[in-house]
Structure 1
Amino acid sequence: MATEYGQRTRPPGHPARRPLLPPALGAPVAGRTFREFAYLLVSLPLSIVTFTYAVTMTALGAGLLVTFLGVPVLAAALAGCRGLGVLERARARGLLGLDVAEPQPVRAAKSGAMAWIGAVLKSGTSWRSLLYAVLHLPWAVFAFTVSVTFWSVGWSLLTYPLWRWVFPAYLGVDGIQVYGEEGGQGGIYLDTPFEIGATAALGLLVTLVTPWLIRALTTVDRVLVAGLLGASRLDARVGELESDRGAVVDTAAADLRRIERELRDGAQARLSGLAADLGLAREKLHDDPREAARLVDEAHGEVKVALRELRDLARGIHPAVLTDRGLDAALSALAARCPVPVRVEVELPERPAQAVEGIAYFTVSELLQNVGRHSGAGTASVDVWRVGDRLLLQVTDDGRGGADPAAGTGLAGLAERLGAVDGVLDVDSPAGGPTRVTAELPWRG
């Protein structure tokens, strides 16, 4: 396992950069606030276009369903909504930082226009995109009105001391009129120092509240985009299974290449040399029996070495002790071969499925190899237990720490293998240790 210990992306003790203003005070001028406000501003015109297109095309297609023309019109309406969904996902990604998984594309079982129309009409993503186009307009109107009102009122009141001269200079009144009759007779104006200060204070309060209000409004947009325009749970699961299948295929291919390489460079080479030595011994059997006996003795030693290598290779494929006696005995055998003293504790009410048991064994095997080669630990421990329908493994050592999956390929590759069977790998390895690696696997007993 090629994980490097002692490598960190940030030097230990390096302080993180602190913001110049506290979040509550810096929110009105934060980049996130301006991006989210821009999102709400653009949402209104886009939602009007989207709503108009969706309702018009859907109504036209539904009205023409009495003829055959209604079917392609309705498919065009759904396809257009899917296209607008692409724009909405890109807008949410750029302004809200929301990375929504792309839904499955339209896949027709056969080629041709009719097959494509049928696939569009059967796609759940198409109908969810239409639903988004219809529902988003009323929400966009509400969010636009609220955000623009609070934004404009807050900044206007906050900066009132700077621009209040506009009223007496150009309108002939003393300031903002709070109460009074038309024509400015008998009115109450914000023109005294106290009233101007109170107005600015109220503006400051509204300005400080506005970013959090905008954030709450965009949270609803995030839910709408992720729920209606993103991949469904079935699509996400299909994509995950396709990715896992690729990881399993790659892992199996790598294992086969490793076995082939070990056989070629180990047992096969020794057996080839053994055959040559035995042939030479047979030729010398009558002319030089002593030399023939020496060659046979060397061949006997080579046979023992080849058998040991084959036994080790077979143990690496699937150890017999794991099949016969389970994880407890197999992990104890692993711990005995580790150069670091290892405590093993297995608390399982029964044995899991053989496939899960094998993955658990090889996971602990790679982690213990990592401990022995890179950690510099004095002791280590292996704990295995079950929680609900999950099998948990934890390998802990008191070494130097600093194990980072991003710094090497060992832990990253192990995480991919576990992910292929719905497993999870968690690494906790601060600089200076200790290192604690926890693996979680489905039980599947």
Structure 2
Amino acid sequence: MVTDYGQGYATRSEPRHRLPAGLRAPFEARSRREFGYVLLSLPLATVLFSWTVTMVALGAGLLVTFLGIPVLAAALAGCRGFGVLERARARGLLGLEVADPEPLRMRKPGAAAWMGAMLKSGASWRHVLYALVQFPWAVFSFSVAVTFWSCGWGLLSYPLWFWVFPAYAGEGGIQLYGDAHHSVYLDNPFEITVTALVGLVFTLATPWLVRALTTVDGLLVRGLLGPSPLSARVVELESDRGVVVDTAAADLRRIERDLHDGAQARLVNLAMDLGLAKEKLREDPRTAARMVEEAHGEVKTALQELRDLARGIHPAVLTDRGLDAALSAVASRCTVPVRVEVDLPARPAPAIEGIAYFTVSELLQNISKHSGARSASVDVWRSEDRLMLQVTDDGVGGADASRGSGLAGLAARLDAVDGILMVDSPAGGPTRVIAELPWRG
């Protein structure tokens, strides 16, 4: 793998605001989208709740006949259709990305198989639960948001419209209290100012209140309309299995290519040279001896290539002496001085140990080829149930795993075993790469 150290991070400076977040929140587009989400929730939740209760009740009542099954299946299908709309609404207004739930699993095509799959699908029944839970929450959030929003802006703008009361209603202003003996109106400048200040507090608090309400909406959408944790884990494991299979196939192709282009080709030439030496042994013994000597050198070179290839598959020093000795051997072959420090109470599982070795080897190879560094360091330690690797160098920086470089492939390999790769490499350096692996000792 080759990591491109010549490209830096694409940085984007955050816009600087003169007003603090608390003051600009009522005028931000995000606040308007969240308030719009709350306003739309009530009518949509009403339709979804009505559909769900009506169709599920009708289907349950008709279960004494065959008609109940298709009615229930239609009810669940309708709820899943509303789920598509809700996920799109959450994506557009809340910026919440929720994956589609697991699809129906039908063993064979046909209406009966579809109805059976629909009724057996846990995702379908989660959509029903969402319809039943979201309706009362939508009523509550709509009432709270609209009340706070209208009171806030109404009171804040009170100095602009309080004149309506004495001009057309025959009263001094908004009446706070009144009985047969006396009444209290907000009609003097002090009371009008205090009213506007109370409205300002309501106005500034409303976006944050609406944000809290939509956070609950997001939890409902993510928890009930998205894939279940079990199905998401199954998909992740299937993807990881594909990465492992592809990685193994790529390693086999690399080994085959190295054998074909290296040791195999050298051994073929060696056999031809020995054949020629055999023919010249009687006619020209001196030439034959020289050819045998050259063949002996070729044998040594071929053996070295085979040792290097075997070390690339799984080094014997790793099996015999562990990560400390194996990483020290790798560091000695790096073109820059490398400090290695391994602090492990015991050896992890052999598979994890091998992945850690090849991860550090890959990173040191990248440092040799692309970093322009003068020194590097490797630190390995255990943190609870994780094996931690850190490789740093003082090179030019600019490494980015998101640009399809070798780091991306390395991250995919680590992810296949529930590992994590983190890269911190600003332009100009230094570069720090941290890898986490499960211990599995």
Q: CA deviation at 1:373?
A: 2.6
Q: Partners in 1 of 2:293 and 2:355 — Cα distance?
A: 41
Q: Distance in 1 between matches of 2:189 and 2:382?
A: 71
- What CA deviation, in whole Å up to 9, does each residue of 1:239-293 have, x standing for no partner? 1111111211221222122222222221222223223323333343344333333
Residue 132 of structure 2, aligned match among 94, 115, 134: 134
1:95-110 equivalent positions in 2, closer than 5 A: 95-110=93-108
How much identity, in percent, do the aligned residues show?
Answer: 73
TM-score (norm 1): 0.92
Residue 7 of structure 2 aligns to which amino acid in structure 1? Q
Partner SS, residue 432 of structure 2? strand
Query: Contact 2:8–2:426 (CA<8 Å) still a contact in 1?
Result: no
- CA drift of 1:115 comes to 2.3
Q: How does 1:190-209 map to 2 (within 5 A)?
A: 190-209=186-205
Is 1:342 aligned with 2:338?
Answer: yes
- What CA deviation, in whole Å up to 9, does each residue of 1:72-107 have, x standing for no partner? 211221122112111111111111111112211111
Q: Aligned partners of 1:116 and 1:386: how far apart in 2?
A: 50
Counterparts of 2:24 and 2:188 in 1: how far apart (Å)? 29
CA contact (8 A) 2:8 2:397 kept: no
Say whether the 8 Å CA contact 2:155–2:196 is kept in structure 1.
Answer: yes
**Which of the residues 417, 421, 435 maps onto 1:421?**
417
Unaligned stretches of 5+ residues in structure 1:
none
Instruction: Supply the distance in 1 between the matched residues of 2:290 and 2:211 (Cα, whole angstroms).
Output: 86
User: Deviations for 1:172-218, whole angstroms, at most 9, x for unmatched residues?
Assistant: 65544444579xx9765444433333322222111001001101111
Task: Give the corresponding residue for 1:9.
Answer: 9
Of residues 62-71 and 385-394 in structure 1, the stretch that sits farther from structure 2 once superposed is: 385-394
Name which of structure 1's ranges 130-139 and 243-252 shifts more when overlaid on structure 2: 243-252
Matched, 1:236 2:219: no
- Deviation (angstroms), 1:57: 0.8
Contact 1:2/1:408 (<8 A) preserved: no
d(CA) in 1 for partners of 2:356 and 2:10? 32
Q: Distance in 1 between matches of 2:160 and 2:281?
A: 113
Residue of structure 2 in register with 1:308 after alignment: 304
Compute the displacement of 1:59 (Å): 0.5
CA contact (8 A) 1:2 1:409 kept: yes
Q: Give secondary structure in 2 for the equivalent of 1:406.
A: helix
Match of 1:147 in 2: 145
What amino acid does structure 2 have at the position aligned with 1:36? Answer: E
Quick check: 1:7–1:407 contact (8 Å CA) kept in 2? no
Q: In the alignment, what sits opposite 2:51?
A: 53
Q: Which moved more, 1:367-376 or 1:65-74?
A: 367-376
Supply the distance in 2 between the matched residues of 1:65 and 1:246 (Cα, whole angstroms). 44
8 Å CA contact 1:58–1:74 kept in 2: the answer is: yes
Deviation track 1:298-347 (CA, whole Å, cap 9, x = no partner) reads: 22222221221111111101111112222222112112212222222223
Superposed displacement of residue 408, structure 1: 5.6
Please state how far the C-alpha of 1:144 moved relative to its aligned partner.
Answer: 0.5
Residue-by-residue CA offset, 1:10-41 (whole Å, 9 max, x unaligned): 46xx8532124210000000111000000000
Three-state SS of the structure 2 residue aligned to 1:285 is helix
Spell out the pairing of 1:347-362 with structure 2 (5 A cutoff).
Answer: 347-362=343-358
Residue type of the alignment partner of 1:62: A
Report the Cα distance in structure 2 between the residues aligned to 1:429 and 1:381, rounded to whole angstroms.
15
Letter in 2 for 1:296: V
2:263 to 260, 267, 270: 267
Q: Output the TM-score relative to the length of structure 2.
A: 0.92
CA contact 1:174–1:190 (8 Å) conserved in 2: yes
375-384 or 434-443, which moves further after superposition?
A: 375-384
- Counterpart in the other structure of 2:433: 437
The 10-residue stretch of structure 1 (332-341 or 39-48) with the greater mean CA deviation from structure 2: 332-341
Is this contact kept in 2: 1:4–1:408, CA < 8 A?
no
Structure 1 residues 380, 9: closer, same or farther in 2, change over 3 A?
closer
Match in the other structure for 2:75: 77
Q: How far 1:369 sits from its partner (Å)?
A: 1.4
Matches within 5 A, 1:30-69: 30-69=28-67
CA distance in 2, matches of 1:177, 1:388: 65
CA distance in 2, matches of 1:83, 1:54: 12
Residue identity matched to 2:9: T
Aligned to 2:21: 23
C-alpha distance in 1 between matches for 2:376 and 2:131: 57
Summarize the Cα distance change of 1:283–1:166 in structure 2 as closer, same or farther, 3 Å threshold.
Answer: farther
2:363 corresponding residue in structure 1: 367
Superposition CA RMSD, Å: 2.4
Map of 1:119 onto structure 2 = 117
Does residue 1:389 correspond to 2:364, yes or no? no
Instruction: Report the more deviating stretch, 173-182 or 228-237.
Output: 173-182
**Shift in Å, 1:295:** 2.7
Greater shift in the superposed pair: 390-399 or 223-232 = 390-399
- For residues 333 and 249 of structure 1, the distance between their equivalents in structure 2, rounded to whole angstroms, comes to 29
